[in-house]
Chains A and B, each alone.
Chain A
Amino acid sequence: AQSVTQLGSHVSVSEGALVLLRCNYSSSVPPYLFWYVQYPNQGLQLLLKYTSAATLVKGINGFEAEFKKSETSFHLTKPSAHMSDAAEYFCAVSDRRQGNLIFGKGTKLSVKP
């Protein structure tokens, strides 16, 4: 069975600092991996996805993630945090047959001025 673990339910960074949100997955088959962002009282918005092309994936708002098979990880990074990045972030893994997503429990990112 597939699963996703997001390390750290709450991450706090200063404005301008590096953002690193951790995601580890478990999958018996090569996975598709996704990061979503959720702002308060909104649905989830796709940030980026890995579908077995380049292992370094660039997304919207300056975020990127690197697929590391040896570490079963798909961590999300952004070189310089902005106040507008404060939100909840969800990592998800998809099985390639059905395409259903398994979501992590989410990481709340706070950005301090």
Chain B
Amino acid sequence: EADIYQTPRYLVIGTGKKITLECSQTMGHDKMYWYQQDPGMELHLIHYSYGVNSTEKGDLSSESTVSRIRTEHFPLTLESARPSHTSQYLCASSEVYYGYTFGSGTRLTVV
């Protein structure tokens, strides 16, 4: 079944650690997105990609980085996690005109 997967679902990690949030989709979509969302709050676009080797920063400045080496994979990396990075991170992919398909999200807590 075509879908989009995010792992881990929950992550508690210490300050200064390097972390990678995984996002994979099986739909063959060229466009992929990362959003940051605090509980009950609006979505903030932090990164997007229009295809392999294409990555752009979004509207909200973020210390994270992304890569797009394969169409199906769009991981997000934080080199040194801080408590201010505590949030939910949502990955999405899209086919033009059909809207976005979202993953279930990763809830990150940095202690």
| A82-109 Cβ-contact flags toward B at 8 Å (1 or 0) | 0000001010101010111101111010
Which of chain A's residues 20-74 have a Cβ closer than 8 Å to chain B?
32, 34, 36, 41-46, 49, 51
Residues of A within 8 A of B100 (CB): 44, 46, 101
**How many residues of chain B get a CB closer than 8 Å to chain A's CBs?**
23
Query: In this complex, what residue of B is CB-closest to A34?
Result: B99
Contact in complex: B99, A90 (CB < 8 Å): no
Contact in complex: B43, A43 (CB < 8 Å): no
Q: If the complex has contacts A41-B107, A42-B105, A100-B48, are A94 and B90 also in contact, measured as CB distance less than 8 A?
A: no
* CB contact between B102 and one of A41, A45, A88, A96 (< 8 Å): that residue: A45
Residues of A within 8 A of B96 (CB): 98-99
Give the dominant DSSP class at A's interface.
Answer: strand
A41 to B48 alpha-carbon distance, docked (Å): 22
Contact in complex: A99, B105 (CB < 8 Å): no
Residues of A within 8 A of B107 (CB): 41
A52 to chain B, nearest CB (A): 10
A49 to B97 alpha-carbon distance, docked (Å): 10
Q: State the A residues within 8 Å of B (CB).
A: 32, 34, 36, 41-46, 49, 51, 88, 90, 92, 94, 96, 98-101, 103-106, 108
- 6 closest Cβ contacts across the A-B interface? A43-B102, A99-B96, A105-B42, A44-B102, A43-B104, A34-B99
Q: State the B residues within 8 Å of A (CB).
A: 6, 31, 40-43, 48, 88, 90, 92, 94-105, 107
A selection of 13 A-B contacts at a CB cut-off of 8 Å is A32-B97, A41-B107, A43-B92, A43-B102, A43-B103, A43-B105, A44-B43, A49-B98, A99-B31, A99-B95, A101-B100, A104-B42, A105-B41
